């Protein structure tokens, strides 16, 4: 099926330099079917070409109910593996692309929906958000990168608890565990995520690229290799025109100072 046939499953809008991607299947709680996944891929690629940051959110009350279970029930073994690998490829494009993604979370952030959120660089949850990993209850395992990304965010032990017992964590709990970066009142996650994306969009693209691509890889290196890689990245970013302008602007007192937020 061509992308045009699936248009609408993920809404795409470019607002200034920020792309807003909205999972748009509220009647199925934004469950991720093959077509939704391929639309996410298409929109992520488009955002990478024309935006400097992106917001990922869901239409309706729920961010995402995870994998489309109706479709998955029909899948033979080998297809289940290749399908999981496809999720990995698409989420990898979010996590290791060149622009930052901010996820705005409300209602159900469940299974593959949590895995998708974990591939973003910053997560904002409103107070209605709840997080579950019901794979155990469904007789399956995470397949969208959760065992790596969610385990790193909240810890493998907390993730195991959620999967083994069906524990559903509220937004404040997940924030305490490191799974989300910001909490907002109900209905305000997308506005907050957009403001954060706009702030990130104002950075030098090379700096954002380094944060997205070097920082997480350095976590997988030895300290020695990490520090060496950091020096290489630091020298590379310093060579960019943006760095020269940014440093000069501060020294000539044209740039903003560092100050704590008002909130």
Among 58, 66, 100, 179, binds ligand 1HE (CB under 6 A): 66
Task: Give the active site residue among 71, 135, 173, 242.
Answer: 135
Contact status, residue 12 vs residue 46, Cβ threshold 8 Å: yes
Q: Considering the rule CB under 6 A, would residue 68 count as an interface residue with ligand 1HE?
A: yes
Active site residue 115: yes
Among 65, 117, 124, 169, binds ligand 1HE (CB under 6 A): 65
Give the distance from CA 258 to its chain's centroid.
26
Subset of residues 112 to 151 that bind ligand 1HE, contact rule: CB under 6 A:
112, 134-135, 138, 140, 142-144
Active site residue 74: no
Tokens coding 84: 């999981």
CB of 100 to ligand 1HE, least distance (A): 23
Rounded to an integer, what distance in angstroms lies between the CA atom of residue 101 and that of residue 123?
9
**Contact window for ligand 1HE (CB under 6 A) among 68-76, 191-199, 206-214, 231-239:** 68-76
Subset of residues 28 to 47 that bind ligand 1HE, contact rule: CB under 6 A:
28-29, 31
Give the distance from CA 246 to its chain's centroid.
28
Nearest to 189 by CA among 171, 176, 174, 202: 171
Burial 81-101 (b: 16+ CB within 10 A, else e): eebbebbbebbebbbebebbb
CB of 153 to ligand 1HE, least distance (A): 16
Q: Angle between the 205-219 and 223-238 helix axes, to the nearest 10 degrees?
A: 170
Interacting residues with ligand 1HE (CB under 6 A): 28-29, 31, 62, 65-70, 84, 87, 108, 110-112, 134-135, 138, 140, 142-144
The residues annotated as belonging to the active site are 115, 135
């Amino acid at each position: 099926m061509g992308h045009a046939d699936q248009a609408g499953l993920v809404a795409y809008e470019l607002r200034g330099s920020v792309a807003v991607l909205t999972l748009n299947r509220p009647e199925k709680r934004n469950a991720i079917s093959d077509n939704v996944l391929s639309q996410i891929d298409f929109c992520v690629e488009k955002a990478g070409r024309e935006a400097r940051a992106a917001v990922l959110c869901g239409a309706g009350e729920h961010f995402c109910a995870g994998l489309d279970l109706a479709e998955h029930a029909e899948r033979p073994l080998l297809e289940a593996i290749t399908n999981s690998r496809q999720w990995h490829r698409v989420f990898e494009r979010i996590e290791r692309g060149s622009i930052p993604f901010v996820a705005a979370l409300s209602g159900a952030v469940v299974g593959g929906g949590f895995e998708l959120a974990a591939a973003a660089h910053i997560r904002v949850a409103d107070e209605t958000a709840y997080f579950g990993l019901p794979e155990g209850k469904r007789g399956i395992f995470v397949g969208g990168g959760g065992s790596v990304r969610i385990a790193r965010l909240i810890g493998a032990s907390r993730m195991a608890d959620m999967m083994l017992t069906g524990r559903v964590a509220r937004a404040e709990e997940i924030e305490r565990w490191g799974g989300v970066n910001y909490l907002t009142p109900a209905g305000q996650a997308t506005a907050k995520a957009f403001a954060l994306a706009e702030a990130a969009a104002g950075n030098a693209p090379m700096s954002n690229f380094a944060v997205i691509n070097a920082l997480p890889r350095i976590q997988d290196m030895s300290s020695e290799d990490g520090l060496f890689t950091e020096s290489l990245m630091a020298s590379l970013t310093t060579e960019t025109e943006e760095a020269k302008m940014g440093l000069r602007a501060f020294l000539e007192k044209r740039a903003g100072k560092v100050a704590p937020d008002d909130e």
